[in-house]
Amino acid sequence: MARNADAIREQADEVRVLGAERLDAAASAIWPEVMDGDLRAQDTWLQNRARHATLLGLDVRDAGTPLVSGPVSINVVPPWEAQQGASVVEHEDNPVPPAPESFPEPPFA
């Protein structure tokens, strides 16, 4: 019985390696389109990498490891304030963006 379990485990490892190699080949094949900005290719590549991580057990979290190890602070900066150099903005329920005329000129204009 133990020999059967070892044989099955060995075959599963071989299938896992073959699957990982195929996923790597597929990811490499679409990489030029990903870098060209093709959104469908990017989505496909991300799905491929997620499947690769699942296949190899890379996305399994140890039950004793917390997702966050310390306090977390999230600051939201609206784009119109980020352009003006703001780094932290207090939350407003309905922020009103400034008029477009008040935006600085882009450096490439």
Interval 45-100: pLDDT, tens: 999 999 999 998 888 776 666 666 666 666 666 666 666 655 544 555 555 666 66
pLDDT tens profile 36-45:
999 999 999 9
- What dihedral do alpha carbons 91, 93, 95, 96 form, nearest 10°? -170
What gap in Å lies between CA 49 and CA 43, rounded to an integer? 10
Question: Cβ contacts of residue 77 below 8 Å, gap of 6+?
Answer: 86, 87, 88, 89
Question: Cβ contacts of residue 76 below 8 Å, gap of 6+?
Answer: 89, 91
Q: pTM to 2 decimals? A: 0.51
